[in-house]
């Protein structure tokens, strides 16, 4: 079993839809939880990070962490074609970071 599991998709939604992306993990020691966005042929860029359980909102993006269930989510409201990318979840204990395989999202106009 991988330490971090992420459905690779692909996921295709119409513009304006709410998108839900999820990861599960097995290591209860993880403390920091991040979402990276990666456009085609580019490096991953940090989208959001959260510490421990709870919600964090930034514009159209909301990150949720449920440590009791070892489950994290990223919600994208009013999705736009520019949101089309691969989304990677990541989690760490200090700088020991583990990544999910990434979910490829396409938002169609």
Partner 1 sequence: TAGITQAPTSQILAAGRSMTLRCTQDMRHNAMYWYRQDLGLGLRLIHYSNTAGTTGKGEVPDGYSVSRANTDDFPLTLASAVPSQTSVYFCASSDLGSPEGTDTQYFGPGTRLTVL
Q: Tell me: does residue 101 bind partner 1 (CB under 8 A).
A: yes
In the chain, the DSSP E strands lie at: 4-6, 11-14, 19-25, 32-38, 45-51, 54-58, 61-66, 71-76, 85-93, 96-99, 103-108
Least Å distance, CB 39 to partner 1, is 10
Q: For partner 1, which is the closer residue by CB, 17 or 49? A: 49
Per CB under 8 A, which of residues 8..67 are in contact with partner 1? 8, 32, 34, 36, 41-46, 49, 51
Least Å distance, CB 46 to partner 1, is 6
- Decide the pairing of beta strands 85-93 and 103-108: antiparallel
Q: Kindly tell me which residue out of 63, 72, 74, 88 binds partner 1, with binding defined by CB under 8 A.
A: 88
């Amino acid at each position: 079993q991988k330490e971090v599991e992420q459905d690779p998709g692909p996921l295709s939604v119409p513009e304006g839809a709410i998108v839900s992306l999820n990861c599960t993990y097995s290591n209860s020691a993880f403390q920091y939880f991040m979402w990276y966005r990666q456009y085609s042929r580019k490096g991953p860029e940090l989208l959001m990070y959260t510490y421990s359980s709870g919600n964090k909102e930034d514009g159209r993006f909301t990150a949720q962490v449920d440590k009791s269930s070892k489950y994290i989510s990223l919600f994208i409201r009013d999705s736009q074609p520019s949101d089309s990318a691969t989304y990677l979840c990541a989690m760490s204990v200090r700088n020991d970071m583990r990544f999910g395989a990434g979910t490829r999202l396409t938002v169609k106009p």
